[in-house]
Amino acid sequence: MFLHQLNANCLDIINTVRMFSSDQIFMATSHFDPISSIVEDMDTNFTWYNGGILGRPYVIKRYTNRLYAEQEMTYNDITLSARVSNHIGFLKLMGCCLEFLLPVLVFEDLDYRVLNKRGTVGCEDAPLLPWNVRLKIAKEVADAITYLHTAFPRIIIHRNIRAENVFLDKNGTAKLTDFSLAVTLPEGKSWIEEPLVGTYGYPDPTYFSTSLLTEYSDVFSFGILMLILLMGRPAYLQGSDGRSYFNILEYVKDLQERGEPVVFGGDSNDMKPDQMKMFLELALRCCEKRNEDRPKMIMVAKEIELIVKGSFDSEMLENVFEDGQV
């Protein structure tokens, strides 16, 4: 059934990805031994594994639920991962195995590390990455989301932008992954009504309250990711007084209302306060309550690029966009 669905809708995908056997997958993952898994905080719908097939390393993704919804999620993941595989900002799909109840996806392995809930790598209390690396990650993820929103005839909304869906290769290049919840907007439409799904702390308030999904839903979630990278705190957290916050944005706004400083994460020797303040301001604009008050992702990516270069000027950027230079 699944192969028929792929054949009917994406013949080009069948021709571009390799089909692996169940024996190869079992051998690569030691029969899905937890020791081979690479993500500590395993998603309830899938698990990532490291494994080798015919002497070549791969990252293998196995869906663990068998409901119809997970079948649709897996189909989404294969078709969209294949569509963006040639873009540097995404994990490259090499093939899949259709011999299980749910397909197993096989991705290129470039000695990947996965971001954790705090936007760093390793265990949850691991030191934060250097600020310039975190800034680079934000720029590369912003470029990837911009590609989804602008490169195709119909906008692709990722719908699950979060730290744990960002891999880093051996060169530190960020790779966005997981299209299981992604939605392609109908032709000529800027929104679609969809049931609320995603990761707690990341969904935007408009989508949360109306079920109307737009490209600005990704912008909001990316703003949350920016705050995580900046502060080194998870999306859902408790304050020093023990109070639980719906998300890191609520925590930041509470600090500002009380006149307390927003503490940037990282080594004091690594701080670039001016850059970090501009980064914070952009993150908060991405997280505005109303869609119309948030910038488009192409604008966000351009602003981060200017922050990286140390030449950010919001008025200058507005002039660049008005002149049609980007």
Q: What is the DSSP string of 106-131?
A: EEE-SS-EEB-TTSSBSSTTPPPPPH
Query: pLDDT tens track of the chain, all 326 residues?
Result: 455 555 555 555 656 789 999 999 999 999 999 999 887 555 568 899 999 999 999 999 998 866 655 788 888 999 999 999 999 999 999 999 999 988 999 999 888 899 999 999 988 889 999 999 999 999 999 999 999 999 999 999 999 999 999 999 988 999 999 999 999 999 989 999 999 898 888 999 999 999 999 999 999 999 999 999 999 999 988 777 777 888 999 999 999 999 999 999 988 788 899 999 999 999 999 999 999 999 999 999 999 999 998 744 445 445 444 444 33
SS3 198: coil
Task: Give the number of other Cβ atoms within 10 Å of residue 38's Cβ.
Answer: 17
Per-residue model confidence (pLDDT) at position 64: 81
SS3 180: coil
**What domains lie within the chain, and their CATH numbers?**
2-108 (3.30.200.20), 113-319 (1.10.510.10)
Q: Is the four-CA dihedral 195, 180, 201, 35 of positive or negative sign?
A: positive
Per-residue model confidence (pLDDT) at position 143: 99
Per-residue model confidence (pLDDT) at position 242: 73
Residues 6+ apart with CB under 8 A from 313: 306
Per-residue model confidence (pLDDT) at position 312: 46
Crossing angle (nearest 10°) for helices 215-231 and 248-257: 70
Specify the pTM: 0.90
Per-residue model confidence (pLDDT) at position 324: 40
Q: Closest Cα to residue 262, out of 308, 228, 310, 285? A: 228
Quote the tokens at residue 180. 């299981």
Per-residue model confidence (pLDDT) at position 316: 46
Looking at the DSSP bridge assignments, the partners of residue 129 are: none
